[in-house]
Amino acid sequence: MSWERRTMRTVRVRNKQIIGTLANLLNTIASQAGSVGEIKLISDAAHAVVRDITVYAEDEKHMQQIIEAMRANPGTHIDEIRDEVLEMHQKGKIAIRSRYDIDSIAKLRRVYTPGVADVCLRIAKEPALARKYTIASHLVAIVTDGSAVLGLGDIGALAGMPVMEGKAMLMESLVGLSGIPILLNTKDVDEIVDSIAHIAPTFAAIQLEDISAPRCFEIEKRLQEKLDIPVMHDDQHGTAVVTTAALLVATERAGANLGTAVIGQIGLGAAGLATVKMLMKLTGNPVMGTDLSQDALTRLEAAGGIPATLDEIMAKADIVVATTGAQGLIKPEMVRKGQIILALSNPSPEIEPEVALKAGAAFAADGKSVNNVLGFPGIFRGAVDANAREISDEMLLAAAHTLASLTKEGFLVPHPLNKEVHQAVARAVAEKAFEQGLARAEYVSYVD
């Protein structure tokens, strides 16, 4: 069973003070193919012990089976069942708070009328001062139309809001940027581009999120041409950065040369095509690619890649990256001895790493650790700190090299919650922006 998208409940149980009651309860959960996480003691009285037990199941139906079996355990009474995931999302996960307490008339006059009028007039005369005197200096729009949310597909922008809130939380907690979810109730490319362009003065950067291919390619390109602030589609470039970093680490561990290896990309959606382009930029060599869509193959060829079949890639490529969402697509008999295989689809990879290694791969990994949370916070922080006009390929490669250099032995990428890693990525991205002449501000290495 894959536990990546499992159902979780916290069950408060009241067990009689009889030896074996808890052990029998845990055995009951295991007999129903459930999994136990944290067990927390709430109270220990003369006649009963109350504990919170975290229980995992495949889905809701499976969870109900486990709960009913727990109810039937002799000596056990269930007091409460909580869904802590839903509890954490109640009323949303983010909020806008004032940086100052308005506790006097004097402060009121400074932050609002009449004092604020002077600030407005200064910005009207010199628009660049908005970066100094308003939230626009650190505000990032996280924009979605809800057409490609996680692995859930086209569920609509409103249903995608919890993901956008999560991105905003990560931006704030990891690098101190203020992310604002923007939900667009349209999937029309022209309307999306125009809507974002109209609200762009509010923001220091635009993060496009969960917008389906191929529309995402045109939307990003047109916005980059239209706006003078950084625009990045995270599903493309955030994923490509972390994948490239993982490959830099994997090839070093396997004793391979990324610059001379034959690389094959299976799946040419948003993440797949962006990864191909980044690897070609890094190595200077064409990358083989395959997809069920002929349009995707045409885009690959236009970018300088080599269209191929799945069998051709598995037969010729030294390095294989897969982002198809198709569980078990790569069969063990397809694996060649010495190949490096990153099967990155979640929750179920194209081939399990242990299966690939048993079949002869020199190195194999799945997508559990290759998460774009390692990319987008630092990339945007660096671009915003430098007041860059855009996020260039070179800035993205700087992020990838930084992640690879900070990966500890035994890991494929750094820990995603290590703030020092995100700060290092931000510095590398900003420094590259200055080096390329894309920056418009005196750079401070890292700003809270």
Smallest Cα–Cα separation from 339: which of 361, 308, 364? 361
Strand order in the sheet with 288-290: 306-307, 288-290, 263-266, 319-322, 340-343, 363-366
Cα–Cα distance for residue pair 410/61, rounded to 1 Å: 37
* Contact criterion met (CB below 8 Å) for 411 and 363: no
Q: Which long-range CB contacts under 8 A does 247-252 form with residues at least 24 apart?
A: 247/279, 247/319, 247/321, 247/340, 247/342, 248/400, 248/401, 248/404, 249/404, 249/407, 249/411, 249/412, 249/413, 250/319, 250/340, 250/342, 250/363, 250/365, 250/412, 251/319, 251/340
* Contact criterion met (CB below 8 Å) for 364 and 405: no
* Residue 363 β-bridge partners: 340
SS3 340: strand
Please give the span between the terminal C-alpha atoms of the chain, in angstroms, as a whole number: 42
Cα–Cα distance list, 199 to 179, 234, 312 (Å): 14, 19, 46
Longest CA–CA separation in the chain, Å: 78
Smallest Cα–Cα separation from 262: which of 246, 285, 240? 285
CA 347 to chain centre: 14
**125 phi/psi in degrees, rounded to 5:** -75, -35
Smallest Cα–Cα separation from 67: which of 20, 17, 7? 7
What is the identity of the amino acid at 15? N
Smallest Cα–Cα separation from 186: which of 232, 140, 142, 146? 146
- Show which residues are catalytic: 112, 167
Which residue shows structure tokens 């799946």? Answer: 267
Token pair recorded at residue 382: 């660096």
**DSSP states along 25-73:** HHHHHHHTT-EEEEEEEEEE-SSEEEEEEEEEESSHHHHHHHHHHHHTS
Cα–Cα distance list, 423 to 135, 230, 380, 448 (Å): 21, 18, 11, 10
* Contact criterion met (CB below 8 Å) for 395 and 379: yes
SS3 328: coil
